[in-house]
């Protein structure tokens, strides 16, 4: 997942204009809500969340490795 700077929105603006958050998700697949200028929440489409569900016997390390590999570019951008 790459982070599009157009999908970033402050928590204050998200609170005052949630329809803007949903529009961002509809247009880009996700919206990142910032709290104190730090990414805090990720809003995604429900169908995308369903595809992220895990089997019950998958352990935490396997999940972490899978998510890190899948979202490596996003983590690198956030680490800057």
- 69-77: long-range pairs with CB below 8 Å, 24+: 70/1, 71/1, 73/1, 73/2, 73/3, 74/1, 74/2, 74/3, 77/2, 77/3
Global model pTM greater than 0.85:
no
Domain boundaries, the chain: 5-79
| 20-65 per-position pLDDT tens digit | 999 999 998 899 999 998 899 999 988 887 766 655 556 777 777 8
């Amino acid at each position: 997942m790459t982070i599009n700077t157009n999908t970033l929105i402050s928590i204050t603006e998200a609170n005052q204009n949630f329809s803007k958050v949903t529009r961002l998700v509809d247009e880009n697949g996700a919206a990142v809500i910032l709290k104190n200028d730090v990414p805090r929440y990720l809003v995604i489409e429900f169908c995308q969340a369903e595809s992220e569900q895990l089997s019950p016997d998958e352990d935490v390390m396997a999940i972490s490795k899978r998510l890190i590999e899948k979202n490596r570019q996003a983590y690198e951008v956030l680490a800057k």
